[in-house]
């Protein structure tokens, strides 16, 4: 009993209790984040063959200097840039419309916009692959036929491949980002809009001088996760092409190339090197954009 009381006093002491509360987070961080990163960095300098590892220095990184790697990196960066350009203004405008007091059936439209995010990405990928199929009876070719156009082999040419990927991106994630912006709009006092309206400000001026500046923290957050999501895109491309091989690598992303080298070709060292480079690229881009947005400035 005395040992239990001593342990209880130790556990509930003001110095120890805070560390007990954060211990689950620390363990989760170390086991599922820090350890995998350290292991990946170590394996990027090794040749991994089962339990046998051989140090090869920068050989894995040198082997990445090939056209397929550059094309996959270019594809991922292009996807990230365009998806950010789409997934910030469109959800913001939709959220502003849904937040308006003149909007009817707000709950219905919010639910309908968020439903795609609840849909399995596997199901979404299969459905969109059928929609953009090569047969004349596919949905998109039927749409073209309705307007008197010839059928298109959608998943063979770069332009139509990117169109399919961005339509899938918009369909799936617009509702999520819209909810983020709706949450940000709820924090803006309605008195500001009433005062601006009394002063004669139009709806466009209110959006420009009130909504946009006060939504800056939300926009920075959405931009940050969109950069990561854009560079990490893989499942959508994999399912759209029913595998990790697209014609002339038109849909191969950097994560797709990582999967090809690390899992399909069982070259864990090169796969780890790709992962390390991807981590560095994501961190550099996000640090730059956070710095440009003033996140690191004191008082903001």
Q: What's the pLDDT tens digit per position in 101-122?
A: 777 887 888 888 888 888 888 8
Report helix, strand or coil for 199: coil
Q: What's the pLDDT tens digit per position in 212-258?
A: 999 999 999 999 999 999 999 999 999 888 888 888 889 899 999 99
| DSSP state string for 248-274 | GGTT--HHHHHHIIIIIS--HHHHHHH
Calculate what percentage of the chain has a pLDDT beyond 90: 49
Computed over every residue of the chain, the mean pLDDT equals: 88
The pTM of the full predicted model, rounded to 2 decimals, is: 0.88
Q: In whole angstroms, what is the distance from residue 178 CA to residue 225 CA? A: 14
The CA distances from residue 36 to 39, 41, 244, in Å, are 5, 9, 24
Does the CA dihedral 149-155-282-235 come out positive or negative? positive
Quick check: 157 pLDDT over 90? no
For residue 128, which of 179, 169, 159 has the smallest C-alpha distance? 169
Two tokens at 188? 């803006």
Q: What's the pLDDT tens digit per position in 22-39?
A: 888 999 999 999 999 999
- Residue 287, pLDDT score: 92
Does the CA dihedral 142-147-148-152 come out positive or negative? negative
Nearest 5°: phi and psi at 296? -90, 0
């Amino acid at each position: 009993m005395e040992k239990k009381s001593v342990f209880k006093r130790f556990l509930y002491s003001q110095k120890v209790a805070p560390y007990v509360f954060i211990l689950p987070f620390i363990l989760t961080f170390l086991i599922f984040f820090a350890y995998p990163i350290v292991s990946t960095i170590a394996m990027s300098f090794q040749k991994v063959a089962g339990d046998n590892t051989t140090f090869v220095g920068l050989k894995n990184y040198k082997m990445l200097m090939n056209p397929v790697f550059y094309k996959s990196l270019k594809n991922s960066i292009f996807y990230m840039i365009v998806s950010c350009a789409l997934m910030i203004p469109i959800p913001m405008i939709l959220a502003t419309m849904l937040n308006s007091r003149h909007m009817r059936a707000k709950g219905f439209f919010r639910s309908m916009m968020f439903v795609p995010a609840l849909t399995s990405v596997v199901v979404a990928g299969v459905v969109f692959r059928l929609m953009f199929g090569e047969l004349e009876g596919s949905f998109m070719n039927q749409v073209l036929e309705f307007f008197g156009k010839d059928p298109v082999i959608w998943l063979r040419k770069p332009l139509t491949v990117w169109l399919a990927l961005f339509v899938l991106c918009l369909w799936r994630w617009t509702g999520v980002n819209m909810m983020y912006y709706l949450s940000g709009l709820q924090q803006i006092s309605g008195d500001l809009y009433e005062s601006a309206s009394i002063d004669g400000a139009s709806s466009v001026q209110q959006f420009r001088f009130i909504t946009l500046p006060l939504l800056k923290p939300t926009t920075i957050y959405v931009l940050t996760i969109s950069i990561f999501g854009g560079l990490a895109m893989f499942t959508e491309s994999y399912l759209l092409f029913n595998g990790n091989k697209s014609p002339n690598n038109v849909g191969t992303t950097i994560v797709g190339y990582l999967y090809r080298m690390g899992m399909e070709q069982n070259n864990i060292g090169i796969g780890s090197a790709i992962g390390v480079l991807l981590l560095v690229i994501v961190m550099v881009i996000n640090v730059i954009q956070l710095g440009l947005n003033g996140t690191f400035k004191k008082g903001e």
